[in-house]
Amino acid sequence: MILRGIGAALSIVLACGSSQAQTFKSSAGDLKVETIASGLSHPWGLAFLPDGRMLVTERPGRLRIVTRDGKLSPAVANLPKVFASGQGGLLDVIIDRAFTQNRVIYFCYAEPADGGARTAMARGKLVDGDTPRLDDVKVIFQQAGPLSSSNHFGCRIVQMPDGNLFLTTGEHFTQRDYAQTLDNHLGKLIRITPDGAAPADNPFVGKAGAKPEIWSYGHRNMQGLALNPATGKIWEQEHGPRGGDEINIPLAGKNYGWPLISYGVNYDGTPVNEGKSEDPGLEQPIWHWTPSIAPSGMAFYTGDLFPAWKGSLFNGALAGTLLSRLELDGDKVVKEERILQDLRERIRDVRNGPDGALWLLTDNSAGRILRVVPAK
């Protein structure tokens, strides 16, 4: 069930400072969407620092610190070289769970290699100040398998309570059959330690011909990843082709079907594989969008500003230019509400802010950081 007509804009008003805010309808009442910062080039990942400032990546290869009132730092120095072409560049960023003690951050990016690129993840220590930088930078994961020309890098990161890291990858679009084989990292959910090792309880550790970092496989292009605080399970979403965008709760060692099954069709309208949407031994998504909305970042809402939305799963949408709210009953989706449709901007990331607001990134050459709060 979709609640329609949610995105109608009511008015544009001035917010604090020089920021502009728009007001939109929703099931939780009127929403105010404030522009906190602007002028970012294709911002991709957002992470909150303990003092309320933010780390924001820009796809061309810059990482910035952004103050609560929207001031941008110079680009953080000492990042590795990134492959900034097509969908590639500097992508997600998170802070370590012990950041206040160790100052460690993790980031993933398209790494140039032999005329193409692959997904990589690195860590480093953030040194603050007027000219911020990273020290002790170490690449802890490099995707094995055929390289990408410019597409399907995945690249969302979540650190679990045990310290281990999940990283999404893509299958590089033209190499989709590799998502079904275990001797590479294409179309796989990756699980590693903070130093890059494969945890001993990963499902393919010790299996001949399989990469030990693999958690699950048969994925397409995973651009959303979130820990469900109610269950402790990791959730991911991935782009389908024309239709068939999926949300999965990936279990260890399981096969999620791409490109053997899909609820979508190829971009030329032909069936994917034999046109099957299910097959024995292949996992079904818990939700799919057909037609596609091109989902991006995702977050479970745990704040207090929107009590009626507590526990909901929010997904940004690129082609759909909207914010999708999924109401859950355990591990099942029972309702979708489409919000901010009249914003008419590609929403790249969604974060549950420490202030209880929803924070968004818009993906364009003059991208913005947006804060969503009740209008009253």
Residue positions annotated with a catalytic role: 152
- In DSSP terms, 322 is beta-bridged to 317
CA torsion sign, 208 to 214 to 216 to 219? negative
Q: How far apart are CA 300 and CA 208, in angstroms?
A: 37
- In DSSP terms, 58 is beta-bridged to 43, 62
Taking Cα atoms as reference points, which of 227, 239, 372 lies closest to residue 313? 227
Degrees, nearest 5: CA angle 187-141-99? 115
SS (H, E, C) the chain: CEECCCCCEEEEEECCCCCEEEEECCCCCCEEEEEEEEEECCEEEEEECCCCCEEEEECCCEEEEECCCCCECCCCECCCCCCCCCCCCEEEEEECCCHHHHCEEEEEEEEEECCEEEEEEEEEEEECCCCCEEEEEEEEEECCCCCECCCCCCCCEEECCCCCEEEECECCCCCHHHHHCCCCCCCCEEEECCCCCCCCCCCCCCCCCCCCCEEEECCCEEEEEEECCCCCCEEEEEECCECCEEEECCCCCCECCCCCCCCCECCCCCECCCCCCCCCCCCCCCEEECCCCCEEEEEECCCCCCHHHCCCEEEEECCCCEEEEEEEECCEEEEEEEECHHHCCCEEEEEECCCCCEEEEECCCCEEEEEEEECC
Q: How far apart are CA 67 and CA 307, in angstroms?
A: 27
